[in-house]
């Protein structure tokens, strides 16, 4: 990749990139071809570069309005504008650059959809597309989303707690982990068909949580954002949102959830275990081997060159709700 590695994450776009270079970059990148394989979240290298991209693409996918209970506790959080939430994405199945998912996912077919929940449980079930928004009352959750690449957003998700779904299938005593799998469909997901476009990931994308993490009421199955069903680039029709962990745990477009006795393999840990751990709790005291995690660039309504660097909080600010899950664990070992 063309992008230079910064010394520390304190830099922002305007420290390293002048505006005319930024405006030329989109066409430049198009001419360069796709991102290098496995350079992985190497957009991270580019937090001073393409992590600042917002596509000017007008999404054509039709989203539907949802009925839900408002998040009355968090209306005070300054939300990232919807246009930025839906045009600055990590969804490698539709390309490893931030502006590719909104361009390449608009034809994604989400209905019919099947989500199976099985494994170590008494009542395995399969949900179809309508079940996803009708099975449980929906609520808004305004959460901070902190990407491991050191940018963040505040997103008004709509969904239900994963624990409600898990209760329905009745996990048995062997269920120690919950594993998630994204759809594998190279015909629809060009990043799965083209290794370079898909960032060198071995698909399907898989993630997992410990069962107590999965049962925590903050852990959300999201079916929408900003009052409407999810657009494909954000993980339609259903995705996970785990707000105290780096964003890569929040797996998109889920087709299978499995209760397991043993810890399964997960996509980023598998690809680069020294850089991405199983836990991936947001931790300003544990740097990524190639950059600091002490601070983050909050994406807000300001322009690309606004200084929005803020301190990163342990557990992304949700320590009161989740720190007890990790009592006695060395979090620099279990990163
Ligand atoms: N899920 C799948 N299937 N594929 C991905 O590439 N990227 C992850 C996560 N879920 C990813 C995924 C990463 S790195 C982040 S930061 C978040 O999705 C981004 O979610 P957003 O695009 O809705 O902001």
Pocket lining: 191 vs ligand 1, CB cutoff 6 Å = no
Q: Is the CB–ligand 1 distance for residue 89 below 6 Å?
A: yes
What's the rounded mean pLDDT across residues 94-109? 97
298 - beta bridge partners? 152
pLDDT band at 12 (very low <50, low <70, confident <90, very high): very low
Ranges of H-type helices in the chain: 13-16, 19-32, 82-85, 100-104, 129-134, 162-169, 190-193, 211-215, 267-271, 319-322
Q: Which residue has the tokens 């600055």?
A: 88
pLDDT bucket at 9, cuts 50 / 70 / 90: very low
Rounded CA separation 97/51 (Å)? 8
Rounded to whole angstroms, the Cα distance separating 330 from 28 reads 44
Task: Report pLDDT for 292.
Answer: 98
**Structure token pair of residue 29:** 């990148």
Percent of the chain with pLDDT over 70: 83
182 lines ligand 1 (CB under 6 A): yes
Alpha helices (H) in 108-239, listed in sequence order: 129-134, 162-169, 190-193, 211-215
φ/ψ (deg, to 5) at 173: -70, -15
Whole-prediction pTM? 0.87
The closest residue, in CA terms, to atom 8 on ligand 1 is 248
Contacts by residues 83-87 (CB-CB < 8 Å, ≥ 24 positions apart) = 83/54, 84/54, 84/153, 84/299, 85/153, 85/155, 85/225, 85/226, 85/234, 86/59, 86/225, 86/231, 86/233, 86/234, 87/54, 87/55, 87/57, 87/59, 87/233
pLDDT tens track for 309-326: 999 999 999 999 999 999
234 lines ligand 1 (CB under 6 A): yes
In this predicted structure, what is the pLDDT of residue 25? 34
Count of beta carbons in the 10 Å neighbourhood of residue 293: 19
Mutate to test the pocket of ligand 1, among 83, 90, 254, 282 (most ligand atoms within 8 A of CB): 90
122 alpha carbon – ligand 1 mean position (Å): 31
Atom of ligand 1 nearest to the CA of 96: 6
Compute the distance from residue 248 Cα to the ligand 1 centre, in Å.
5
User: In this structure, are residues 43 and 113 in contact, taking their beta carbons and an 8 Å threshold?
Assistant: no
The mean of the pLDDT values for the chain is 87
Alpha-carbon distance of 63 to 232, in angstroms, equals 9
Nearest CA to ligand 1 atom 12: 251
CATH numbers and ranges of domains, the chain:
13-326 (3.90.420.10)
- Taking residues 287-306, report their average pLDDT: 91
Does residue 42 have its Cβ closer than 6 Å to ligand 1? no
Dihedral, 177, 110, 198, 281 alpha carbons, nearest 10: -30
């Amino acid at each position: 990749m063309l992008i230079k590695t910064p010394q520390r994450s304190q830099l922002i776009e305007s420290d390293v990139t002048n505006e005319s270079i930024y405006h030329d970059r989109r066409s430049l990148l198009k001419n360069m071809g796709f991102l290098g394989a496995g350079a992985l979240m190497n957009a991270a290298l580019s937090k001073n570069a393409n992590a600042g991209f917002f596509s000017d693409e007008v999404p054509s996918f039709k989203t539907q309005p949802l009925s839900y209970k408002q998040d009355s506790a968090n209306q005070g959080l300054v939300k990232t504008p919807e246009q930025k939430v839906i045009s600055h994405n990590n969804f490698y199945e539709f390309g490893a650059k931030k502006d590719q998912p909104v361009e390449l996912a608009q034809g994604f077919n989400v209905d019919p959809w099947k989500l199976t929940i099985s494994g170590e449980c008494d009542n395995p079930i399969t949900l179809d597309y309508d079940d996803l928004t009708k099975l449980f009352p929906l609520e808004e959750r305004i959460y901070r989303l902190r990407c491991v690449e050191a940018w963040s957003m505040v997103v008004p998700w709509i969904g239900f707690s994963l624990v409600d779904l898990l209760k329905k299938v009745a996990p048995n005593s062997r269920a120690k982990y919950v594993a998630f799998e994204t759809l594998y469909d190279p015909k629809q997901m060009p990043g799965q068909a083209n290794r370079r476009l898909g960032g060198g990931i071995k698909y399907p994308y898989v993630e997992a949580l410990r069962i107590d993490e999965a049962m925590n009421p903050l852990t959300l199955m999201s079916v929408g954002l900003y009052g409407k069903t999810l657009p494909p680039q954000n993980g339609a029709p259903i995705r996970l949102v785990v707000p105290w962990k780096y964003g890569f745990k929040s797996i998109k477009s889920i087709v299978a959830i499995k209760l397991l006795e043993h810890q399964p393999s997960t996509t980023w840990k598998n690809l680069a275990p020294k850089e991405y751990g199983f836990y991936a709790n947001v931790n300003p005291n544990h740097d990524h081997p190639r950059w600091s995690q002490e601070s983050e660039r909050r994406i807000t309504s300001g322009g690309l060159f606004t200084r929005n660097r803020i301190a990163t909080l342990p557990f992304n600010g949700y320590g009161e709700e989740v720190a007890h899950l990790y009592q006695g664990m060395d979090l620099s070992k279990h990163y």
